[in-house]
Structure 1
Amino acid sequence: MSGDTFVLHKGGCHCGAVRFQVFAPSVLHVFDCNCSICVKKGNMHFIVPKSRFELIKGEDNIEVYTFNTHKAKHTFCKTCGVQSFYSPRSNPDGYGVAPHCLDPGTVEKIEVETVDGQNWEKFMKTSDISKYSKT
């Protein structure tokens, strides 16, 4: 398999109330961010455009948390509290998907990139993070 091979990944929250599917590479480029909320949640995610993401069930079971600029929409299951995806500030036209919330069997490998979310504005000026949400 190649890292450019796209597959249909399925996943969801812990209790199963929220389920989604996402068309993404089998080799995932995952961001490990050190911003205040990602550190508290242990959040690691990969970016996909909204066109490659489909919420299968649970829209009525999703809560949204925002803070600071209120651009990022931190979604989580109101039953179990798990955030399996969210709308990141860096890519408001995409989703950040938690690889640990994917069902087993479709991920070939995970490559991790550190993101300096504590210095987000400076990091975004020098980063090409948005290339990961292009269709």
Structure 2
Amino acid sequence: MVRRYTDSRFGTRSQGETLTEEESRLLTDYMYHVSAAKASGELCLKYIFKFGAFPRAPLFHSASEWKVPTTFIYGFEDWMNYEGAQEARKDMKVPCEIIRVPQGGHFVFIDNPSGFHSAVLYACRKFLRPDPDNESLPEGLTSA
């Protein structure tokens, strides 16, 4: 059952690169063990989300209190709307960037791993360099 889920979600119907057979097997094993375990980090999801995957306390409401620079990363085909992050950014007192990665859905790190890694490395360099304004966005990524 888990294998059918990972094949359908991350196989031929994936937004970006299709997983190799080995990657698919590893992901299936991971999903199985996360689901079969008596307790895991995945259990927190029932406390974070209401029925239908709606957040109980949306981050949007607390973003103005955040004290660290923040980068939101979305896939171009993500079902989550990046415009919510744009609204949250308006009230934030810390630097905030929104990056959209092509050929990626909600699991952009699986759909387009190289694009996701580029976005993460860009975000880290931008906030760790002495002159972050001279850091340009990698090719293919879009700032929102």
Structure ranking higher in strand proportion? 1
Mark the structure with the bigger radius of gyration.
Answer: 2
Q: Which has the higher contact order (CA 8 A, sep 6+)?
A: 1
Structure ranking higher in helix proportion? 2
What TM-score do the two structures reach when normalised by structure 2?
0.28
What TM-score do the two structures reach when normalised by structure 1?
0.29
